[in-house]
């Protein structure tokens, strides 16, 4: 069975983007060896990536560029090589290498994917998709990087979930740059 992990950088007040969808505040630290090694290690996981349209378009406009190859050589290579799924009813083509465009309902599609054998699937950004999958009890794990910044307002990937969910902390690690990595696993749906 394939597992579904969410990897998300969040502010101290819990937002993954500003209200306007800006996530540029999660960048920086490209000169931080300790954190870079962590990100590169994550990217070597060998899994597949899953996105909503907005996050996909943002990622697809960056990772295949010479700028990305220069700034993040290891991660760019991995991001371009990994199998990718994008959910969109409006996109006509998905041209970033190794992408499958899916027009069906995310929850139905992911429920079917989870029954198959295969590498783990990681969702990045894509708050709308995450909310839908979380409501359907399809998320196995949240990998959060808490950025030492308060936004004051923004988008929460848990917005619209109308019930509480107990999580289990499985990993915590802090970095010299002030970021904190927290991994929570979700209770199995009965």
User: Is residue 7 within the footprint of a second copy (CB under 8 A)?
Assistant: no
127: helix, coil or strand?
helix
49 close to 124: Cβ distance less than 8 angstroms: yes
Q: Which is nearer to a second copy, 81 or 150 (CB)?
A: 150
User: Is residue 13 within the footprint of a second copy (CB under 8 A)?
Assistant: yes
Apex 23 CA angle, 114 and 74, nearest 5: 65
Minimum distance between the CB of residue 168 and a second copy, rounded to whole angstroms? 6
Minimum distance between the CB of residue 169 and a second copy, rounded to whole angstroms? 4
Listed ranges 32-40, 49-57, 106-114, 172-180: which one lies at the site for a second copy (CB under 8 A): 172-180
User: Is residue 38 within the footprint of a second copy (CB under 8 A)?
Assistant: no
Angstrom distance (rounded) from CA 184 to CA 142: 5
Angstrom distance (rounded) from CA 106 to CA 171: 28
- Phi-psi sector, 26: left (phi>0), alpha (psi -120 to 50), beta: alpha
Residues 112-141, interacting with a second copy (CB under 8 A): 134
Question: What is the binding site for a second copy (CB under 8 A)?
Answer: 10-15, 25, 134, 142, 144, 146, 148-153, 156, 158-169, 172, 174, 178-180, 182, 184
């Amino acid at each position: 069975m394939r597992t579904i992990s969410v990897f998300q950088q969040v502010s101290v007040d819990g937002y993954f983007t500003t209200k306007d969808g800006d996530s540029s505040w999660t960048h920086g630290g490209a000169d931080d060896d300790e954190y870079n090694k962590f990100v590169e290690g994550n990217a070597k996981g060998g899994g597949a990536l899953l996105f909503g349209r907005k996050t996909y378009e943002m990622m697809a406009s960056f990772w295949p560029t010479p700028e990305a190859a220069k700034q993040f050589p290891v991660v760019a290579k991995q991001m371009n090589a990994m199998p990718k799924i994008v959910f969109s009813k409006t996109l006509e083509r998905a041209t970033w290498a190794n992408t499958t465009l899916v027009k069906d309902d995310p929850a139905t599609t992911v429920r079917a994917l989870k029954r198959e054998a295969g590498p783990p699937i990681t969702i990045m950004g894509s708050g709308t998709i995450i909310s839908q999958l979380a409501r359907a009890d399809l998320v196995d794990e949240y990998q959060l990087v808490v950025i030492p910044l308060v936004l004051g307002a923004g988008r929460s990937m848990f917005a619209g979930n109308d019930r509480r969910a107990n999580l289990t902390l499985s990993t915590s690690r802090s970095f010299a740059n002030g970021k904190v990595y927290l991994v929570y696993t979700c209770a199995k749906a009965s």
